[in-house]
Chains A and B, each alone.
Chain A
């Protein structure tokens, strides 16, 4: 009994050691890319803001200070107030959480679809590949934003529809990258050896192909989060979000619809800059991860 427990402990100890070693090897390459480190720091900053939103925000974002509508920034209202007298600083802080959540959720859906389609297209024969790539090309050619608008409006307005619409349209890039990775992986010696020793397709896909495409999928997902946040803001701005749910796009929609954009610059600048910085953070991190994980990416 004692022996088993001890070996198990040893095993978990050595696997965690292996993880630490793998991570420090990864970090050794990643940290050489200055832009990637800056992006990662910005990303961590926004995630912390999202988590600590209730502590950082001075007011309830929906609370209406009825006598102080459309006030410019001051020490009481750092980013000023909107036409309903709500504190814009608190709204932008709370919006961080909503925008990040939507971005992650949509990217998760898109990456799952993209990985499944990419692996299937890359692993199975020419016919499956041609069919799936034709489908992918079809989705690439169709104007993505218009397709998302149509999908979201059919599903009814709200953030769930927005997430689904972005996820169902935004998988094409991942599918292509995963397909080309799978194509080269399946010709590699260890896969052939596995097949020669009688492993089935499903076993090979799960134990050899999937683990080896995961790093690239991870890098790709970080990039898809950036796109998803942009699309969320756009769809919400176009009136497909939930008016009661504060996101950066929703704040901008209210600024636009109320006509405040021509007078209240403080209403428009902070949410827009937040979107820009978050997207920048995810893009820089994603490109740098891709450089580490996908050795064939050429540095432009």
Chain B
């Protein structure tokens, strides 16, 4: 059922893109001012002799292509360098953060895709009605807000009036109390970041769903179905929704980059220990290896998700080859 040529094309695309990201990442951080050795041992006061020795130990006196192939080898074997700040391997910092971001982002995406589909259908079906106009206006206003600011406002309201926790993912003292209270604690910490992300992300899904449905409404098969006297609800669900939800699904993966931008801001505001907070702290400390590793891992994660979506798409929509 799955077309082999299609798979081969997508796999080639995936490999080229990952290779481009790796190369880009390598060169980008080579244009940095200063030698990584002096950056890594800031404030230690190394002698010129020690700097030279460490430079050759790190292979920084080698020709660029030797460094490049070493970089590719290291990265593929999971060695992303050492954090300037905590001296821990970057991979050990990135992996737990990636999991925490995935938890937050998947719940938020699930909720906002659901809300987006629902509001999009209502807006398209009752086009020009009060509901449609309210939804469009709200979407536009929410789009115009920076996500981090929406987070700051919700943080203020949530902490002062609803007595929700200021930030983090769990209350540390709760760790040994058992699974159920722990889950409740996690939920309490998740409410505000989730609200921020869902409000920030829903708008794009509403627009996509509405646009796709309006497109489908003008198709010949819709006119035919209507002429056959099919009921409105059957028309909307069996003919409209099923055809409109497919372009929506392909955009979910494409919009992942945008969602990650929202997650970075949300995590910063609510100290959610994910990639966003890791990146924010790395910016403040000018911790370049962490920035480089985080960028690489986030980008490859997005590319892989898009690849998986590309693989699933022909299974959902037999027209795609």
The closest CB in chain A to the CB of B268 belongs to A238
**Chain A residues within 8 Å of B16, by CB:** 134
8 Å CB contact of A280 from B140, B211, B265, B284: B140
Contact B149 A252 (CB under 8 A): yes
State A181–B288 Cα separation when bound (angstroms): 41
Contact A234 B146 (CB under 8 A): yes
**Chain B residues within 8 Å of A140, by CB:** 254, 257
Contact B146 A272 (CB under 8 A): yes
**Chain A residues within 8 Å of B230, by CB:** none
The closest CB in chain B to the CB of A139 belongs to B257
Q: Identify which of B52-60, B81-89, B154-162 touches chain A.
A: B154-162
8 Å CB contact of A275 from B33, B145, B160, B257: B145
Q: Identify which of B24-32, B67-75, B188-196, B234-242 touches chain A.
A: B24-32
Cβ of B143 under 8 Å from chain A: yes
Contact B144 A145 (CB under 8 A): no
Contact B156 A265 (CB under 8 A): yes
State A138–B140 Cα separation when bound (angstroms): 27
Contact bitstring A269-281, B, C-beta under 8 A = 1, else 0: 1001001110110
Contact bitstring B256-274, A, C-beta under 8 A = 1, else 0: 1110110011001100000
Question: Given A138-B17, A146-B299, A280-B140, are A268 and B153 neighbors across the interface (CB < 8 Å)?
Answer: yes
Size category of the B interface is 35 or more
Kindly identify, within residues 161 to 182 of chain A, every residue whose CB is under 8 Å from any CB belonging to chain B.
none
Contact bitstring B123-146, A, C-beta under 8 A = 1, else 0: 000000000000000001101111
Contact A146 B298 (CB under 8 A): yes
8 Å CB contact of A279 from B144, B258, B260, B268: B144
8 Å CB contact of A143 from B144, B156, B302: B302
**Chain A residues within 8 Å of B156, by CB:** 261-262, 265, 268
Contact A149 B257 (CB under 8 A): no
Cβ of A153 under 8 Å from chain B: yes
State A269–B150 Cα separation when bound (angstroms): 10
- B contacts with A: majority SS: helix
Contact A143 B303 (CB under 8 A): no
Contact bitstring A12-35, B, C-beta under 8 A = 1, else 0: 000000000000000000000000
- Shortest CB-to-CB span from B11 to chain A, Å, is 15
Contact A149 B283 (CB under 8 A): yes
8 Å CB contact of B299 from A142, A154, A284: A142
- Shortest CB-to-CB span from B315 to chain A, Å, is 21
8 Å CB contact of A300 from B141, B207, B257, B292: B207
Cβ of A240 under 8 Å from chain B: yes
State A153–B290 Cα separation when bound (angstroms): 12
**Chain B residues within 8 Å of A272, by CB:** 145-146, 149, 152-153
The closest CB in chain A to the CB of B210 belongs to A300
Question: Given A143-B298, A147-B295, are A261 and B155 neighbors across the interface (CB < 8 Å)?
Answer: yes
**Chain B residues within 8 Å of A280, by CB:** 140-141, 144
Question: Given A154-B31, A300-B207, are A144 and B257 neighbors across the interface (CB < 8 Å)?
Answer: yes
Offer 27 A-B interface pairs, CB within 8 angstroms, sorted by A: A134-B16, A138-B20, A141-B302, A141-B303, A142-B257, A142-B299, A143-B257, A143-B258, A143-B261, A143-B299, A144-B261, A146-B260, A146-B295, A149-B279, A150-B291, A150-B292, A226-B144, A233-B149, A234-B146, A262-B159, A268-B156, A272-B145, A283-B143, A298-B211, A298-B214, A300-B207, A300-B210
Give the A-binding residues of B (Cβ under 8 A).
16-17, 20-21, 28-29, 31-33, 140-141, 143-149, 152-153, 155-156, 159-160, 166, 207, 210-211, 214, 254, 256-258, 260-261, 264-265, 268-269, 279-280, 283-284, 286, 288, 291-292, 294-295, 298-299, 302-303, 306
17 A-B pairs besides A145-B260, A146-B298, A262-B159 with CB distance below 8 A are: A141-B257, A142-B21, A142-B302, A143-B256, A150-B291, A153-B283, A153-B288, A233-B146, A233-B149, A234-B147, A238-B279, A240-B283, A252-B152, A262-B155, A276-B145, A276-B149, A283-B140
Task: Give the 8 A-B CB pairs with smallest separation, nearest first.
Answer: A145-B261, A272-B149, A279-B144, A143-B257, A143-B260, A280-B144, A276-B144, A150-B295
Give the B-binding residues of A (Cβ under 8 A).
134, 138, 140-147, 149-151, 153-154, 156, 226, 230, 233-234, 237-240, 249, 252, 255-256, 261-262, 265, 268-269, 272, 275-277, 279-280, 283-284, 298, 300
